[in-house]
Structure 1
Amino acid sequence: MKHRGRHRRRRRGRVVRAVLSGTALALTAAATMISASQATVTDNPGALQPLTSPAELGRLRLTEQPVPQQSLDRLAAAMGRPAGVDSVLNSADRTLRNADDCTSEEKAALPVAPAATRAYCWDPADAATREWQPASVTTSGGAGGDGRRGGNRVILSGWTHSGGTAAERGLARVAFVNAGDPDHLTYTWALLVVPVDGGRDYHGLASHVSGMVWYQDKLLVTASGGAGDALYVYDLHRIQRTTVTGDAIGKVPGGWSAHGYRWVLPAIASYRPAGGRCDRTTGAVAPCPEGLSLDRSAAPDSLVASAAMRSGGNRHTLLWRYPFSADPDRSGLLAADSSGSVAALEAYETKADDVRGVLSHRTGRSAEADWYLGRAATAQDGHGTLWRQDMQGAKTTSCGSSGTHHCWADGSGSLSYSAPTGEIWSLSGRVLFALPLSSVDEALR
């Protein structure tokens, strides 16, 4: 008992030291003075502008395209009984480094204001490769209940392959992170795939994954590029084991391969623009969703999406949301009518450009939701900007003796709110970090 007590005290000490280290690290990166006020800089995006016309909302409509059940059953019968999240976590073969063990370059990517309270860096082998790029994050906080799986909190992070051979380029993988012990996060990889040939085979998703949401038992991800612009849906009860270790993807002599990965997630459905395609240049046909997050403070629970205007462009960034279905037989899917059509609940325009992360949350201060937008770092400054917008105006933090508003993370990856813990999770460069939503609002007060 004495030994166990000392272990608990040492562990609590490590947690406290990691929090203090991460906070001090972010503060000393660029500033010692932090303030927040109504932004007066020239790039203030101002108030959100609601879009209400049938034509504006109509171009956001999606069509649900499920993979036939027969195809999914055929694939499962050939590959063996599907596994769940717990099985994947139990096979973890990598460890995230705590903030104290991150390099100075990795630490420099963290937010300055508000500061991260937890920060982790990937296994050195994954941190060293530049061909795989992390871009999205979501947590088991959206899975329902207390946000735990098998007693553990879980984080998922989506990465895209941006180089290598033509066969590798665009592949998408997901890190399954066991975050049950905040001092010791472990993870392993699963490859995102799409069933083909009626479930007799599969191929890699081969798309850039910039947004990701875990809701109930489903994982929704953005896809752009090789597989076309769409939202793909994965069932976290339908994770399949591979049986052959090799570079090939799909059915091979002797079994099933996934470019060396032990696990694959076969898509069960996709959502595509009702008009058949989206437009990244003008958005005249339909905007292509890039950022995703889950809003459980809304009624009903909703999927939040963004399509960003690039700096210097001639159009505005769009923000909108879709309702999730309340039908128990459609858990984790969007609310669709009998024809499979999904309508947006609401939409807004914002003058904020280069938005990489989007989050919507109703805190009780007003009847409308606050929208949090993470903007990418500029070439002149190593940090991005975090805005909170509503229909009254916009606020951001300031930091440093010069009062700069470039206080947020370097890479400004996706934003994910975990209601059970009250934390926002995000990515900056190759650092996974978290901070309380309350600290964001306090800094903006």
Structure 2
Amino acid sequence: MKHRGRHRRRKQGRAVRAFLAGTALALTAAATMISASQATVGDNPGALTPLTRAADTGALRLQEQLVPQATLDELSAGMGRPVGVGAVLETADRSLRPASGCTAGERTALPVAPAATRAYCWDTADTRAWQPGAVTTSGDADDDGWWNDHRVILSGWSRQGADRDLARVAFVDANDLAHLRYASALLVVPVDGGRDYRALTSRLTGMVWYQDKLLVTAGDGLYVYDMNRVQRTTVLRTDVGRVAGGWSAHGYRFVLPAVGSYRMTGGSEAPRLGGISLDRSTAPDSLVASESTPSDSDRPARLWRYDFSKDPARPGLLATDATGSASAVEAYETEASGIAGVLSHRADGSDRADWYVGRSPGSTDRHGSLWRQDGDGAEATRCGDENAPRCWGTRVGPLSYWEATGEVWSQSGRMLFALPLESIDRALG
């Protein structure tokens, strides 16, 4: 049983029926906000080029380092017994507004084509000075889409400030898609043998919740969090860490302490991580990643994947060798630049996966673009009189596929949205 008995499985059919209930949103207003003159047609990234040389794939190697159990035990001894996802959701006191309650300016961040079928906007006061950068769901955590009695969306945010850099995760209760509520936990890293913790200062560009682990991008690698080790804070102050009278996390009631990390070992040849996502269409399930490059860069970027471990004693961790090294099992080079979201999926009966990449707007563009690439070429969703490819969000974000419902979740600016993968494929032709 997955999650060492802590996660009660639900039937996939129930998740599909409940999640897809309701009428799709008519979110086409954004199409009137973009003109064909703002879109370009000459940025086709072409076919993927396989990377097979040892020197190329070696640059993608990750080294695993797990936090000692004694450190985690020390932290729990000081803060109290860890709690789980349900404890955070019980305190969800903030709401996302449905698209009908969002401003016209907020809705212009949505894709033009294909249109979102679900869309929500975040509380402005709660997100001011914070940058969105990652989305994952309980559809990643388990293939039935449930985490105990909850369907959950996780949204990662970063804040780079003069006083302190911070990263947090919003836990969204998605049991009722008409009324999304959430509460947030600060991401932290244990220090001093678990007698204290510091804030995670990396900007979040990707996040995957797989089994009981949450993998979060950290520029030159990944941090790992255990979803069963959420800790309650005791002091609501702006400090982060142990303070007089207890534990503080910049005013948040919960923290997620890191339980491990993966660091790139390829030196100057190693890529800077951009987006990540889960691919359940491989055996074993795999983590896919994209390289972060500027949106107007003329340098090729890399796309690659790692296998997840099949060892029941290592739930949610990557497959590693005897030295703790995780190697890329597949890698490609693409001419696409400014990749902010990546998704890989093999359709039933297909012998190879399609790679979907969301590209940020160029310096002269309003909207980004969404491309599907393979070894033969690339296709984009298109719109406008010139059938141009700049039709995706204005603030291109992550791509997360919820297998049980067939939907892709993403975020553009303060808009959280979803649409069926098949509607993307239809728009791609």
TM over 0.5: yes
Which residue number corresponds to residue 203 of structure 1? 198
Given residue 151 of structure 2, which amino acid in structure 1 is its aligned partner? R
Per-residue CA shift, 1:349-407, capped at 9, x if unaligned? 00011111000000136311000000012333321100000001000122111222111
Matches of 2:296 and 2:84, distance apart in 1: 45
Matches of 2:202 and 2:143, distance apart in 1: 32
Which residue number corresponds to residue 335 of structure 1? 319
Which residue number corresponds to residue 218 of structure 2? 223
* Conserved? CA contact 2:342–2:357, under 8 Å: yes
Q: How does 1:140-179 map to 2 (within 5 A)?
A: 140-163=138-161, 165-166=162-163, 168=164, 170-179=165-174
Which residue number corresponds to residue 35 of structure 1? none
The 3-state SS of whatever aligns with 2:317 is: coil
Which residue number corresponds to residue 266 of structure 1? 257
The 3-state SS of whatever aligns with 1:294 is: strand
The 3-state SS of whatever aligns with 2:119 is: strand
Q: How does 1:73-88 map to 2 (within 5 A)?
A: 73-88=73-88
Given residue 159 of structure 1, which amino acid in structure 2 is its aligned partner? W
Q: Return closer, same or farther for 1:320/1:189 CA change in 2, 3 Å cut-off.
A: same
Matches of 1:348 and 1:63, distance apart in 2: 21
Which residue number corresponds to residue 65 of structure 1? 65
Matches of 1:61 and 1:151, distance apart in 2: 37
Which residue number corresponds to residue 179 of structure 2? 184
Matches of 1:83 and 1:315, distance apart in 2: 45
Matches of 2:88 and 2:150, distance apart in 1: 12
Q: How does 1:289-438 map to 2 (within 5 A)?
A: 289-364=273-348, 366-438=350-422
* Conserved? CA contact 2:341–2:397, under 8 Å: yes
Matches of 2:410 and 2:381, distance apart in 1: 17
* Conserved? CA contact 1:26–1:116, under 8 Å: no
Show structure 2 runs of 5+ residues with no match.
1-17
Question: Which is worse superposed, 87-96 or 361-370?
Answer: 361-370
Query: Structure 1 residue aligned with 2:234, among 214, 233, 243?
Result: 243
- How many positions carry a matched residue from both structures? 409
The 3-state SS of whatever aligns with 1:328 is: coil
Which residue number corresponds to residue 100 of structure 1? 100
Given residue 419 of structure 2, which amino acid in structure 1 is its aligned partner? L
Per-residue CA shift, 1:305-333, capped at 9, x if unaligned? 11133245353110000000001110000
Given residue 422 of structure 1, which amino acid in structure 2 is its aligned partner? G
Matches of 2:35 and 2:363, distance apart in 1: 19
Matches of 1:222 and 1:373, distance apart in 2: 17
The 3-state SS of whatever aligns with 2:26 is: helix
The 3-state SS of whatever aligns with 1:247 is: coil
Note the C-alpha offset of 1:29: 4.0
Matches of 2:417 and 2:35, distance apart in 1: 19
Given residue 215 of structure 1, which amino acid in structure 2 is its aligned partner? Y
Identity of counterpart residues, as a percentage?
Answer: 60
TM-score, structure 2 normalization: 0.92
Per-residue CA shift, 1:86-130, capped at 9, x if unaligned? 110111010000000001111011001111000000123124x1x
Matches of 2:225 and 2:205, distance apart in 1: 16
Matches of 1:151 and 1:359, distance apart in 2: 27
Q: Return closer, same or farther for 1:323/1:199 CA change in 2, 3 Å cut-off.
A: same
Q: Return closer, same or farther for 1:381/1:312 CA change in 2, 3 Å cut-off.
A: closer
Q: Return closer, same or farther for 1:124/1:315 CA change in 2, 3 Å cut-off.
A: closer
* Conserved? CA contact 1:232–1:271, under 8 Å: yes
Matches of 1:312 and 1:191, distance apart in 2: 33
Per-residue CA shift, 1:390-436, capped at 9, x if unaligned? 00100012211122211111111011111011110111111000000
* Conserved? CA contact 1:143–1:217, under 8 Å: yes
Note the C-alpha offset of 1:145: 4.3
The 3-state SS of whatever aligns with 1:20 is: coil
Q: Return closer, same or farther for 1:251/1:342 CA change in 2, 3 Å cut-off.
A: same
Matches of 2:159 and 2:395, distance apart in 1: 17
Matches of 2:96 and 2:54, distance apart in 1: 47
The 3-state SS of whatever aligns with 2:382 is: strand
Given residue 202 of structure 2, which amino acid in structure 1 is its aligned partner? S
Query: Structure 2 residue aligned with 1:25, among 22, 29, 34?
Result: 29
Show structure 1 runs of 5+ residues with no match.
1-10, 33-39
Matches of 1:66 and 1:197, distance apart in 2: 15
Matches of 1:313 and 1:156, distance apart in 2: 30
Q: How does 1:2-13 map to 2 (within 5 A)?
A: none
* Conserved? CA contact 2:285–2:307, under 8 Å: yes
Given residue 98 of structure 2, which amino acid in structure 1 is its aligned partner? N
Runs of 4+ in 1 over 6 A off after TM superposition: none
Matches of 1:358 and 1:402, distance apart in 2: 26
Which residue number corresponds to residue 11 of structure 2? none
The 3-state SS of whatever aligns with 2:218 is: strand
Matches of 2:396 and 2:295, distance apart in 1: 15
* Conserved? CA contact 2:64–2:260, under 8 Å: yes
Note the C-alpha offset of 1:58: 1.0
How big is the alpha-carbon RMSD for the aligned residues of Structure 1 and Structure 2?
2.0
Counterpart check, 1:194 vs 2:198: no
* Conserved? CA contact 1:308–1:316, under 8 Å: no
Per-residue CA shift, 1:36-83, capped at 9, x if unaligned? xxxx93211110000001111111111100000100011011111101
Given residue 29 of structure 2, which amino acid in structure 1 is its aligned partner? L
Given residue 289 of structure 2, which amino acid in structure 1 is its aligned partner? A
